[in-house]
Amino acid sequence: LEAGTRLLEGTAFSRKQAARALVQLSRQVLENFELLGPRAAWTGPLSRGDYETVSRHAEVLKGYPAQYLDAYAALARLGVSLLAKSPLSARARLDRALKS
């Protein structure tokens, strides 16, 4: 959450606004996980197969310390391996998006 707060602070968010937004997002994710289960609660560009957005995220993260992109890539790879309907295909597309 701290990394997310710092990323949002790099945009138009104050620290307080960033923290509030991430708390709300976290609560919604946990509620969806409880009510719907992991696959149905999975949101974001990977859940939609939107690898162009993943590529744009990776490009933006290159402007931050390397561990930000490393963490994003590791969590994305874990997510597709656990939750994607076709994990091998999703992993290949993800790897291409992260390299572009």
Q: What is the DSSP string of 61-75?
A: HTTS-HHHHHHHHHH
HSE-up of residue 35 (Cα within 13 Å, Cβ side): 7
Helices 66-83 and 2-9, packing angle to 10 deg: 120
pLDDT tens digits for range 69-93:
999 999 999 999 999 999 999 999 9
pLDDT tens digits for range 3-44:
999 999 989 999 999 999 999 999 999 999 999 999 989 999
Give the pLDDT of residue 23: 97
CA-CA distance, 93 to 83, in Å (whole number)?
15
Indicate the SS3 state at residue 27: helix
**All structural domains of the chain with their residue ranges:** 1-41, 44-100
pTM of the complete model beyond 0.85:
yes
